[in-house]
Chain A
């Protein structure tokens, strides 16, 4: 208790706390060890890694050589994949947040049988594993595309639409739980003042959703950014539109066991998420906890 107000003098140090601190430091180093090893070996040549993967690199400048080798690579357009990943993630997140919150609000504010059934359908669908859907989905998207003359496979809008479909159940569920607790009086007052239904949602309800929007963004953002199977099936392994996880596998497939390049490409894929995490850490942790407990 007094540790905060008084500096711990040698005689007051709690021995069990010291053991705990040392143990935690060791555990933490163990947890971070893989990252350390990736950084260490991203700054080496392939020969150096084979010779000794745990030695310090001879020249840290090699890291920049590796990075430029990756970005100037003829087989995999790494920078393009990075941009595509960003576009797909951001666009999917925007439409998931807007459309799911709209749907959840309608479902909450209409206590009817149809809304209960619809809500149950969304919740129940969360049990369906992706493996059941993936191959019929690809076939279905091809059929729909041919029929309506809108190409769904290999396009931005195709995969973003797919993410809306896969993202809505959880997002509607999370929004539903939050909107339930917003007092109805707010909306009634606005109705009396002559506010239209759609204006009530966009002017009054939507701004109130800010904290839960962060949760929905984080839950979906981590998943979409790292997703592999859906982009692989919808975009293809060497289509025009690529995502980062596909580029990393393409890279590792083309440069088998060339760990200098594979590890550097892995590091480049990790860095943006880590940076984002450093800035938005508080929100991310809060969002993850709220998303899982609900």
Chain B
């Protein structure tokens, strides 16, 4: 018995030690720092209560980043899930080379946000503009990234390109777990393809939709890498009579605040992001619980 206990402790020790040192301690410090005047330079840190939070909600740049992140997330949820659902229908159909397509659509997911951002910056700023010149289509001649009202959409399109293949895999797994006899029976009964998809496939895939929805939601909310190299927050625009960066999402706002040595303020913003994510996760857990009951 004694030896068992020793093995238990030794087996748990490395993971628990790393977990405490890398996540738990910094997390507690993080909560504390959000209520101080930490600036990253001075070693003296004073407690200031909720002052950092109070000033956040009157700061136009933060409000703008928060709103634009919510908007970006909503666009992504719709775009990524619609595109990946269509892709999953395609690669589970009877077309030739469907496995090849499935493998191909997943490739963008393998590329990190940093590299991907540069590639798309080039595509959107140079290739698309050039195509606009060649085809004399005026809308394309100004880059979508340089217009405040299109930049978020361009980012969503890039995000969709990256994530659609991944979410597609989740839908494909779900479709393949549905007995094909169900779809065939409905087909014999004279239901056309579209009504079969809407009345049989989609209701049977409820679980996959929940997973994908929350995956796209949390990844969009935390988006940083691609944001940094695709737009770096630009172009400039105005919000509540203050100059703001049109595509500066929440994570980048935190990063830029900290880079300007306003560490405590950045930390407070990060805590707001954390609370928003906890809120989302609680909804997800309750939705999943409800579904388990129904089953």
Nearest CB in chain B to that of A199: its residue:
B7
One of B74-82, B116-124, B146-154, B198-206 at the interface: B116-124
CB distance from A262 to the nearest CB of B (A): 6
CB distance from A105 to the nearest CB of B (A): 7
Please, which residues of chain A bring their CB within 8 A of the CB of B270?
129, 131-132
Q: Cβ of A103 and Cβ of B225 under 8 Å apart?
A: no
Name the B residues within 8 Å of A225 (CB-CB).
112
Does B67 count as interface, using CB distance less than 8 angstroms?
Answer: no
Whether, in the assembled complex, A249 has its beta carbon less than 8 Å from a beta carbon of chain B, the answer is: yes
Contact A165 B18 (CB under 8 A): yes
Q: Is the CB of B33 within 8 A of A136?
A: yes
Answer whether residue A65 sits at the interface, using C-beta atoms and an 8 A cutoff: no
In-complex Cβ contact of A285 among B90, B101, B169, B274 (8 A): B169
Q: Which of B165, B215, B271 is close to A132, meaning CB atoms less than 8 Å apart?
A: B271
- B57-84, CB under 8 A of A: which get 1 and which 0? 0000000000000000000000000000
Residues of B within 8 A of A144 (CB): 21
Residue of A118, A164, A227 with most chain B CB atoms under a 10 A cut-off: A164
**Chain B residue with minimal CB distance to A14?**
B94
- Decide: A289 and B277 in contact? CB cutoff 8 A: no
User: A266 within 8 Å of B by Cβ?
Assistant: yes
Q: Which residues of B contact A103 (CB under 8 A)?
A: 11-12, 14-16
List 5 tightest A-B contacts by C-beta distance, closest first: A165-B22, A226-B112, A136-B29, A103-B15, A165-B18
Residues of A near B40 (CB, < 8 A) are: 135
A sample of 4 more A-B contacts (CB under 8 A), given A24-B101, A37-B127, is: A136-B26, A165-B23, A226-B113, A288-B169
Contact B222 A129 (CB under 8 A): yes
The reply to whether B95 and A133 form a contact with Cβ atoms under 8 Å apart is no
Residues of B within 8 A of A229 (CB): 224-225, 255
Q: Is the CB of B103 within 8 A of A285?
A: yes
Query: How many whole Å from A222's CB to the nearest CB in chain B?
Result: 6
Which residues B253-295 have CB closer than 8 A to chain A?
Answer: 254-255, 258, 263, 266-267, 269-271, 273-274, 277-278, 281
Determine the distance from Cα of A277 to Cα of B105 in the docked complex, in whole angstroms. 12
Q: Is A10 interfacial (CB-CB < 8 Å)?
A: no
Distance of B185 from chain A, by nearest CB (Å): 15
Q: How far is the CB of B98 from chain A (nearest CB, A)?
A: 9
Q: How many A-B residue pairs have CB under 8 A?
A: 239
Query: Which A residues are in CB contact (< 8 Å) with B166?
Result: 288, 292
User: In the assembled complex, which residues on chain A have CB atoms less than 8 Å from the CB atom of B102?
Assistant: 285
Q: Nearest CB to that of A139 among chain B residues?
A: B29
Q: Tell me whether B145 is interfacial, beta carbon within 8 Å.
A: no
Question: When A166-B22, A168-B19, A228-B225 are in contact, do A289 and B173 touch as well, CB less than 8 Å?
Answer: yes
- Which residue in A24, A130, A227 is a CB contact (below 8 Å) of B112? A227
Could you say which residues of chain B place their CB within 8 Å of the CB of A140?
Answer: 21, 25-26, 29
Choose from A17, A110, A168 the contact partner of B18 (Cβ within 8 Å).
A168
CB distance from A258 to the nearest CB of B (A): 11
Contact with B along A91-110 (1 / 0, CB 8 A): 00001000110110111001
Let me know if A20 and B90 touch, CB within 8 A: yes
CB-based contact A34/B161 at 8 Å: yes
Contact present for A165 and B119 (CB under 8 Å): no
- Check if B107 sits within 8 Å of A54, measured CB to CB: no
